[in-house]
Chains A and B, each alone.
Chain A
Amino acid sequence: MAYGLEIFDSSGNTTFSTVDSTWTLLGVYTSNADTSTTHTGVPVMPTRIVTRVMVDQISGDDESYVHTFSLSGSTLTTTAPSSSETVKTVFMVFGK
């Protein structure tokens, strides 16, 4: 690399390099089942992505909606599409 940062282990293997576009975890936010929740204090970075994970097993009898969301500034707004069949959702916000 011409510029940047590379970190090696004692064997000379690269363990981290700024050539890779890595993501930093900015926060983990949980929205409970069937409940719309607004999470505040989300750190701001130039680029952010939000991953969603449905926690626990979905029931074969439910429509099993995942929360929808919008991220603006330091606020993550999560919405339960159904008041009775939205699963618990963990949001992980990453930035770089």
Chain B
Amino acid sequence: MAYGLLVTNDDGDVLIDSDFMHYHFLGKYTHSSVTQIPDISGGSDSSVTVSGNSPNQNKGMQNMPSKGEIYIYSVPVNGSNPPMCFIKPTSTGSSAPFAGIVLTKQSGTNWEIRVFQSTVTSASPVLYCFSPLSQVSNSTSTTYGLKTFDSSGVVTFDSRFKPLRAVGGGSITSPGLAHTGSTGSSWNVSLSVNASSVSTSFTSQSSASDLIYYCPSLAHACQQYTHEEDDSGIESWTSYAWARGDVWWCFYRSCFRIASTSSFEANYGVFARGHIYEHKGDTTNVFAGLILGALTGGAYFAAILATLAAAGSFTSAGVDGGNYLPYENSYRNTSGNAFIISKASYYD
């Protein structure tokens, strides 16, 4: 640089460079509302009270894992650059829920931020948000401190507005599948998150409960369990035939937690879930006609799913529509996710 201020440490790391915008504290925000993705649940029954061993159990959301919650925040920062929002989790440690930002969206002069937490808790995560000075409208009467300008005279660093102080960081990769092993048996589904958490370390700090982290959720996984049965025969001198096919699925989003004073972990929470089925029966020997579309390719299920999703069940929840079954038993976006650690006490 020809002029200005450049502060480095003995490792050569740049700590302050007046040529670049630094992030400063915007404020601390609590959520304005909480929501969940509504379940998609339903099916088609047709004359299923026929004789024989036609199964009627578990046609709802029985045995499905619990969903996490979505906390909605409105951050008043007007500008094209999204704020950096650090999560102050509800708790830390190896049993703490996982949480991650799943939505960043400009809404008028605010940015809407949504935080997904893997389990429902009585306490709520709090956001500590930062932005470049050009997007910070806070005022101060303090005359102490250090202020730097770039060559155009734009303020790039101002200690009066609490510059972001990062105490650690790195990169973390989310697990692949959220559920490993068997996904169910007969009419009983098993799709809970059982993947091992991925852990990475950062510079050790004195208190885990004081830490806040920035790590938007990128990864997601979608897994399903299907089961189909059919039977036919004669009972009480009457022919019977039935067929039933079910699909259960969960859509998982990646989320994170402070596991200790030096450990950051990634895993998944159940973001959305569904269960649909088709069940047919008859008392005549027309079994061939009862073979479901699902049994031959899933077109029948697709029609039921489309009907349920189009019924508008998402409207009241303020979440985007869709069936949350965009792919089967796979995952996306798990690769290196940068994270930054800071301390809440710096800004409280």
Contacts and interface: CB of A to CB of B under 8 A. Distances in A.
Interface of A: 3-5, 7-10, 15-18, 20-26, 28, 43, 45-47, 49-66, 68, 85, 90, 92, 94-96
B123 interface: no
Nearest to B131: A25
Nearest to A5: B7
B144 A68 contact: no
B151 interface: no
B14 A54 contact: no
Contacts of B10: 3
A21 B13 contact: yes
A9 B165 contact: no
Contact of A25 (B20, B80, B216): B20
Contacts, number: 155
A9 B346 CA distance: 12
Given A16-B165, A62-B326, A65-B332, 15 more contacts: A5-B15, A16-B16, A45-B14, A49-B338, A53-B104, A53-B216, A55-B104, A55-B105, A57-B103, A60-B309, A60-B320, A61-B323, A64-B326, A65-B333, A96-B14
B169 A56 contact: no
A95 to B, nearest CB: 6
Interface centre among A16, A55, A66, A85, by most chain B C-beta atoms within 10 angstroms, is A16
Measured as residues with beta carbon below 8 angstroms from the partner, the interface class of chain B is 35 or more
A61 B321 CA distance: 8
Contacts of A56: 103-105
Contact of B326 (A54, A63, A96): A63
Contact of A20 (B165, B214, B322, B333): B165
Contacts of A43: 19-20
B237 to A, nearest CB: 49
Nearest to B37: A60
B143 interface: yes
Interface in B47-106: 80-82, 84, 101-106
Interface string B236-276: 00000000000000010000000000000000000010000
Interface of B: 7, 9-10, 12-17, 19-23, 37, 80-82, 84, 101-106, 132, 142-146, 159-160, 162-169, 171, 203, 214, 216, 218, 220, 251, 272, 309, 319-327, 332-333, 335, 337-338, 340
Interface of B is mostly: loop
Contact of A18 (B9, B80, B340): B9
Contacts of A90: 81-82, 104
A56 B325 CA distance: 19
A15 to B, nearest CB: 5
A24 B14 contact: yes
A62 B332 CA distance: 11
Given A20-B165, A21-B167, A59-B320, A7 B159 contact: yes
A60 B272 contact: yes
Nearest to A68: B335
Contact of B166 (A15, A23, A61): A23
A3 B9 CA distance: 9
A26 B324 CA distance: 36
